[in-house]
């Protein structure tokens, strides 16, 4: 029995370290997709075999300049654009474009449950156009008005693309399921709109 317990603990540690890990969501930056207090399950192996794709929800180690608290290391956001993509927002058009393809983000951008008002795709209607460097990602929270993401850090840094994007090497893994609370269990899939991006 003691040997079985030791083996079970070792296996659990190996799985947590190298394969799967759960993460607690501490804020509302990914609402309504993820709620504060949710727990998500993250695949830590998948990006050993390929890079993150547009539309995926990822956990990554945030750059120091992104952190309001130096201890807040792990962030969770949605990948909007990958290396080589041009991502932009035009207030007149009212949507984010990736490589000229307009994204229909209505399935995941935050909608106030009381008023029904949906966030703008870019907070305060801020317009931008950025070409993402190779090996880096442009990430945004689904609750655009409450997310310290690529757009926010692009503005704060004086429109530095390097500061606004994160390296692929900082990605911990892909969040693929909400596992807690049980009432909110579901898979986290890529929204259909990303399929048309050239």
Query: Is 196 a domain residue?
Result: no
Q: List CB contacts of 12: < 8 A, sequence separation 6 or more.
A: none
Average the pLDDT over 32-48 and give the result.
97
Residue partners of 118: CB distance under 8 A and separation at least 6: 106, 109, 110, 111, 112
In a domain, 62, yes or no: yes
pTM over 0.75: yes
Catalytic positions are: 29, 77
Specify if 165 maps to a domain.
Answer: yes
Residue 183: inside a domain: yes
In this structure, is residue 198 part of a structural domain? no
pLDDT at 18 over 60: no
* Residue 194 belongs to a domain: no
Residue 195 within any structural domain of the chain: no
Domain membership of residue 156 (yes or no) is yes
CATH number of residue 58's parent domain:
2.10.109.10
Beta bridge partners of 90: 95
Number of domains in the chain: 1
> In this predicted model, what pLDDT tens digit does every residue of 46-58 receive, in sequence order?
999 999 999 999 9
State the residue range of the domain holding 140: 2-189
Tens of pLDDT along 111-146?
Answer: 999 999 999 999 999 999 999 999 999 999 999 999
DSSP class of residue 171 equals E
How confident is the prediction for the chain on average, in pLDDT? Answer: 92
């Amino acid at each position: 029995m003691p040997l079985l317990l030791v083996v079970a603990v070792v296996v659990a540690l190996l799985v947590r370290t190298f394969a799967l890990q759960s993460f607690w969501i501490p804020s509302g930056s990914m609402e309504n997709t993820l709620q504060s207090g949710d727990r998500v399950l993250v695949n830590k192996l998948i990006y050993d075999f390929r890079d993150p794709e547009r539309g995926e929800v990822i956990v990554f180690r945030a750059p120091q300049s992104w952190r309001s608290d130096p201890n807040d290391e792990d962030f969770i956001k949605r990948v909007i654009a990958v290396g080589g993509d041009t991502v932009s927002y035009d207030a007149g058009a009212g949507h984010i474009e990736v490589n000229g393809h307009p994204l229909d983000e209505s399935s995941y951008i935050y909608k106030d449950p009381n008023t029904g008002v949906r966030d703008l795709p870019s907070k305060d209607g801020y317009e931008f156009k950025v070409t993402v460097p190779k090996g880096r990602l442009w990430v945004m929270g689904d609750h655009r008005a409450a997310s310290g993401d690529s757009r926010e850090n692009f503005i704060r840094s004086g429109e530095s693309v390097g500061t606004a994007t994160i390296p692929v090497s900082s990605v911990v893994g892909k969040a693929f399921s909400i596992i807690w609370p049980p009432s909110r269990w579901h898979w986290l899939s890529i929204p259909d709109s990303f399929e048309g991006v050239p």
